[in-house]
Amino acid sequence: MTAFPDVLQPGRHEPLGATARDGGVNFAVFSAHATRVELCLYDEAGTTELKRVALQGPVDGLWTGFAPGLRPGQVYGLRAHGPHAPREGHRFNPSKLLLDPYAREIVGEFRCLPEDHGYPLGHPDGPLALDERDNGPTALKARVAAPLAGASPRANAPRHAPADVVLYEVHVKGFSMRHPEIPEALRGSYAGLAHPAAIAHFKRLGVTTLSLLPVQHAVDEPHLFGTGLRNYWGYNTLGFFAPDPRLASGAVRHDPAAVAAEFRAMVHALHEAGLEVVLDVVYNHTPEGNEWGPTLSLRGLDQKSYYRLDPEDPSRLQNVTACGNTVNVEHPRVTQLVLDSLRFWVGEMGVDGFRFDLAPVLGRTSAGHDPASPFYTALRQDPLLAQVHLIAEPWDAAPGGYQLGRFPGRFMEWNDKFRDAARGFWLGHGPEGTTIGRGEFARRFSASSDVFDPATPTNGGGRRSPLASINFLAVHDGYTLSDLVSYAGKHNEANGEDNRDGRDGELCGNFGVEGPTDDPVIRQARERARRAMLATLLLSQGTPMLYSGDEFGNGQGGNNNAYCQDNEIGWLDWPSADASLIAFTAELARLRKAHGLLRRASWFAAGDDAGNGGDRVSLRWFHPEGHEMRAEDWNDADGHALSALLSEAGGEGAATRSESLLLMANPGGQPRSFGLPAPIPGTATASWTLLLDSTGESSPGARVGDTLLVPARGLVLCRAGG
């Protein structure tokens, strides 16, 4: 039996958290305003406190101690003493056991009990009151982790060229829960996502990079308890260094060390298959919510440092996330927490990048979002994180929160302007009944140069690549591709909020009937619109991102906010998968990979001499009648069909090569005749060869002359010559 010390030896100030070393364990925690921080040691089950001992400090806000003889596997929590002065922003309460923010293994189950709150529920003073009940026996606790065994999965990580990247947003559990080729014992788990059947699907699709919905340890929101629902998506992170055990296979789910091992094995297997792994991470808020929420970790350690407070009433928290609180990433130690977490997932767990949820929060200062904020500056200078993908969801829920195009350096950004243009163009209407004209479609097709290559850069970093635009049609938050062509309004009744939740006004259209139908005319219109949108996504400039299941027609019954649906609504419906749509999507990805003109890393310009050995690369837009687009054509509110001519020709001193691609888009309900231009500016008209007809009416390989009848709701791609 371990002999617990009465007094800790002086500890190291780094790394933060609990670190096994030199025959013991070093503890280090940050709290700038605490007057005393105690380490509480528990039995293996985490229910009985065995010893309580003070950490030493503070030195520069750090509390430390070294416990000789302690070993990995030791369960512990923290208690922080200090002022209970809510009106000044302080909510110290040593009656509440706190989870170490750096915990790599978490034991217990969060049940949101009354004693988890720092104030008595129902008290007339609300969160200004003090609850002195001890929640130690039931609180979540950390467990000292042993050093991870074996080499990091980074050792075999692929490095795809930016122009080759095709993203695939996927939920670890939802992907495999109904997959017939994945063993039942592995379904819904990290191991299931790395199963050969899953990898075969990813490889067939031609995706290079999986963007996983949150996998860090998350808990349910209080309003879900007792409803039979749970936070399925996982955007409620409490453990920034621990993989979520709910996504592990049943055999290891209750052993945090085994969960981490399964996660690492997943990354290794995906890397072996040439697939990158990007994590969706939530550093903008925590499950502690607003001032009425529970006290679990950061609030009790030092609320005034870790969270942004209302400057006019520090007893209240700023809520630019619409999730109750906002993490104060501007604070140097909070910046460190986020960076340490990112480095852990790259260096120890092997991942290849991050998608930052509500990313403007990370760059918020007292003056608003700042591309030169301390966090961005530190992130761009980090040698380990310089190796991985950085992706921003470029908006939060506050005024001034929409920051598309304003992120620094090599960030890529989710481009909702592409989403709305692609949907509106093929559905026949834009947001709030507006129309999506040729100009808007052309801008988004060509990677939104008005956003990512503006005349006056607003990101503090100058020009950016077209690949900074992450183009998408659908993501987890909203309709699936199948649903957005099948419903005219959201159907979120199963969420238990009387259909009030989820985004109102999301672009969609049912083509005449709400939901499933046997009407062949409506079914054909929906199918054509869906395929044309997929073709637009994979053939546009920028970086494409597929939402898992869209490649085979997965639907959610019109639910556009399935965050709490850990069931057949949220899981992919493999039994109903459309094999022909999978093949079509795979062919689009193959075409993109085969033709460099479809995935350029530099901007097109008319007659642009790109400086690449004298090559001339251009993108020109044509009216269906065959002439180049004129001002009156762009401004024609009733005209929508158009074609794009992408050309590359070797110049003097350059390698002999040339290629021309012609993309023709007819979003109308009737076929449209297109005049075909010369393949390279200044050359004579030549024949074209059909590469793709999204409607399937024409077969690849067919020769095309001066004109072509493009089917209704069809997108056609041709290549010059035979």
Do 621 and 531 share a structural domain? Answer: no
How high is the pLDDT of residue 686? 67
For residue 529, tell me if it sits in a domain.
yes
How high is the pLDDT of residue 685? 60
Task: Look over the chain and give the mean of its residue pLDDT values, rounded to a whole number.
Answer: 94
How high is the pLDDT of residue 528? 98
Under a CB-based contact definition with an 8 Å cutoff, are residues 480 and 578 in contact?
Answer: no
3-class DSSP state for residue 711? coil
Tell me which of 357, 396, 506, 527 is the catalytic residue. Answer: 357
3-class DSSP state for residue 224? helix
Please indicate whether residue 363 or residue 149 has the higher confidence score (pLDDT). 363
Summarize pLDDT for 128-171 with one digit per residue, the tens: 999 999 999 999 999 999 999 888 899 999 999 999 999 999 99
User: What average pLDDT score do residues 273-296 get?
Assistant: 98
- Dihedral of CA 405/407/412/416: which sign? negative
98: phi then psi, degrees, rounded to nearest 5: -115, 145
Do 531 and 454 share a structural domain? Answer: yes
Return the structure tokens found at 61.
């806000």
How high is the pLDDT of residue 4? 84
How high is the pLDDT of residue 562? 98
Do 633 and 548 share a structural domain? Answer: no
How high is the pLDDT of residue 615? 54
**CA gap 275, 194 in Å, rounded:** 10
Report whether pLDDT(613) > 50. Answer: no
| Residue 672, domain CATH | 2.60.40.1180
For residue 242, tell me if it sits in a domain.
no
For residue 202, tell me if it sits in a domain.
no
Do 609 and 562 share a structural domain? Answer: no
**CA gap 210, 160 in Å, rounded:** 12
Do 645 and 558 share a structural domain? Answer: no
Out of 105, 121, 143, pick the residue that ends a domain.
Answer: 143
Do 617 and 497 share a structural domain? Answer: no
Q: Where residue 104 falls among pLDDT bands split at 50, 70, 90?
A: very high
357 is catalytic: yes
| Residue 34, domain CATH | 2.60.40.10
Domain that holds residue 705: 604-720
For residue 619, tell me if it sits in a domain.
yes
Do 645 and 516 share a structural domain? Answer: no
How high is the pLDDT of residue 609? 44
For residue 200, tell me if it sits in a domain.
no
Out of 143, 171, 188, pick the residue that ends a domain.
Answer: 143
Do 421 and 490 share a structural domain? Answer: yes
How high is the pLDDT of residue 367? 87
How high is the pLDDT of residue 684? 60
Residue corresponding to tokens 């939060």: 396
Do 703 and 613 share a structural domain? Answer: yes
Q: Where residue 460 falls among pLDDT bands split at 50, 70, 90?
A: low
For residue 206, tell me if it sits in a domain.
no
For the chain, the domain total comes to: 3
Q: Where residue 435 falls among pLDDT bands split at 50, 70, 90?
A: confident
How high is the pLDDT of residue 612? 42
How many of the other CB atoms lie within 10 Å of CB of 671?
A: 15
Please indicate whether residue 652 or residue 704 has the higher confidence score (pLDDT). 704
Report whether pLDDT(610) > 60. Answer: no
For residue 702, tell me if it sits in a domain.
yes
How high is the pLDDT of residue 5? 83
518 is catalytic: no
Q: Which amino acid is at 186?
A: L
Do 612 and 537 share a structural domain? Answer: no
Strands (E), 271-367: 276-281, 309-310, 313-317, 353-356, 364-365
Do 563 and 654 share a structural domain? Answer: no
Summarize pLDDT for 206-262 with one digit per residue, the tens: 999 999 999 999 999 999 999 999 999 999 999 999 999 999 999 899 999 999 999
Q: Where residue 434 falls among pLDDT bands split at 50, 70, 90?
A: confident
For residue 87, tell me if it sits in a domain.
yes
Summarize pLDDT for 4-57 with one digit per residue, the tens: 888 999 999 999 999 999 999 999 999 999 999 999 999 999 999 999 999 999
**CA gap 307, 328 in Å, rounded:** 5
Do 556 and 474 share a structural domain? Answer: yes
Report whether pLDDT(653) > 50. Answer: no
How high is the pLDDT of residue 474? 98
Q: 524-529, long-range: CB within 8 Å, 24+ apart, which pairs?
A: 525/669, 525/713, 526/485, 526/486, 528/694, 528/695, 528/711, 528/712, 528/713, 528/714, 529/426, 529/427, 529/485, 529/713
How high is the pLDDT of residue 655? 46
Tell me which of 116, 393, 483, 693 is the catalytic residue. Answer: 393
Summarize pLDDT for 548-559 with one digit per residue, the tens: 999 999 999 999
Give Cβ neighbours of residue 559 (< 8 Å, ≥ 6 apart).
483, 490, 491, 492, 494, 495, 502, 565, 569
How high is the pLDDT of residue 604? 84
Q: Which helix (H) or strand (E) holds 472?
A: strand 469-472
| Percent of all residues in the chain with a pLDDT value above 70, rounded to a whole number | 96
How high is the pLDDT of residue 606? 54
Out of 85, 111, 143, pick the residue that ends a domain.
Answer: 143
